[in-house]
Amino acid sequence: MKKYDQTRSDRLWKAVIVDDEPRSRAIARRMLASYPAFTVVAECANGYAALAAVSEFEPHLMLLDIQMPEMDGFEVVKKIKPEQLPVVAFLTAFDQYAVRAFEVHALDYLLKPFDEERFASMMQRVEERVTAADGPLYSRRVFTMLEALTAASSYAERFVVRLHGKILVIPVAEVDWIKAEDNYIRIHTGSSSYLDRETLSSLCDRLDPRKFVRVHRSVLINVDRIKEVTVINGEYELVLQSGIRIALSRTYRDEFFSRLGDPRPASPDFKKR
C-alpha cells in the first residue's frame, strides 16, 4: 500500500484507489487530482491492502477495481463493515448486465477504458453522495446489488451433453430455446438440437430468469434470441433470430411481458425489433 501526505487542510474528503494495475491507478490518481475537495491518502494493488487502508484512513471515497486476483472488488466490499463503507466507485470491464446492476441500484461505476468526460460525470454524483447523510441507505443498496450479482453468477453457464462417444459443451448464451420431451430436454441452438436427460422444471431453477423465460408449459426461450413478437387475432407468436416461430401460451403471457420489460402490445400489427 502506497500512502500519501494528508497535511493539506483544504482537502475535505479522503480517497483510496484500489487497482492491481499500476497504470490504471496512475490514471485514476491523475484524474482525481482535478478535484480539489479530494485528497488521495492511499493506493492499493490488492484487496487486502484496500481493507487495511479503509481501517486506517476511514476514506470517504474508494475507486475500486472489481477484477483483481486473490480477492476481487466485490469481496473487498463484503468484508467492510456497513458503518465503515465509503462511497464506492466501481472500476469495471464487466459486461452490460453487471453495469445494469450498478445503474438499477444507483451506484457509481466507470467502465474501462474511461476518459475524463466519463470520470467527471461519475465524480459529480460522487460529490453529491459524500455530502448526503444517507450512509445506511447507501450501504443497503451496495449489499443488495452484490447479492443480486452473486445469485446471477450461480446460474448455469453451459450445458454438457454426451453425444456419440464424445462430450459436447454448449454455452448457455448460444442456446435459442429448449423444449421438454418427457424426462428429457431438447436444446436448440441454430440449426442443431441436442437431447439431454433433465426435466424442464429442474432446468428452470438452474437458468438465469432474466435470460430464459417460459412461454409454454414445455418451452423455455432465450430472450436475447427473440427477434420479433407478433400478434394476430389476439394470439401472440415469438419469432427467433433463427427464423423459428413459437406460440406464446396464454398462461405465460403476463410473466413473459413482465420479464421482457415491454408493455403488452395493443396494436394487432405490433412487432418487437
Tell me the per-residue pLDDT of 228-237, one tens digit each, with 9 for 90 and over.
999 988 899 9
Q: What pLDDT does 102 receive?
A: 67
User: Are the CB atoms for 22 and 70 separated by under 8 Å?
Assistant: no
Q: Are residues 126 and 6 in the same domain?
A: yes
Averaged pLDDT, 124-139: 75
Q: Does residue 269 lie in a domain region? A: no
- Among the candidates 101, 123, 153, a domain finishes at 153
Q: Does residue 268 lie in a domain region? A: no
Any residues with CB less than 8 A from the CB of 133 and at least 6 apart, and which?
Answer: none
Query: Distance of CA 17 to CAs 44, 81, 124, Å?
Result: 6, 19, 17
pLDDT over 60 at 271, yes or no: no
Q: Are residues 220 and 133 in the same domain?
A: no
Weakest mean pLDDT among 42-46, 48-52, 100-104: 100-104
Q: If pLDDT is split at 50, 70 and 90, which confidence band does 182 have?
A: confident
Q: Are residues 255 and 146 in the same domain?
A: no
DSSP 86: P
Q: Does residue 266 lie in a domain region? A: no
Structurally, the chain folds into a number of domains equal to 2
CATH number of the structural domain spanning residue 142: 3.40.50.2300
Q: Are residues 42 and 113 in the same domain?
A: yes
pLDDT over 80 at 167, yes or no: yes
- Among the candidates 99, 134, 153, a domain finishes at 153
Averaged pLDDT, 197-226: 88
CATH number of the structural domain spanning residue 245: 2.40.50.1020
Task: Give, in degrees to the nearest 5, the angle at Cα 16 between 15 and 22.
Answer: 130
Q: What pLDDT does 54 receive?
A: 95
The partner residues of 63 in beta bridges, in order of sequence, read 17, 89
pTM tops 0.85, yes or no: no
DSSP 41: E
Averaged pLDDT, 53-62: 93
Q: For residue 65, what is its C-alpha cell?
A: 477495481
Q: Are residues 9 and 135 in the same domain?
A: yes
Q: Are residues 58 and 193 in the same domain?
A: no
3-state SS, residue 215: strand
3-state SS, residue 242: coil
Q: Which domain holds residue 129?
A: 2-153
pLDDT over 60 at 141, yes or no: yes
Q: What pLDDT does 269 receive?
A: 46
Q: Are residues 75 and 8 in the same domain?
A: yes
Q: What pLDDT does 249 receive?
A: 93
pLDDT over 80 at 31, yes or no: yes
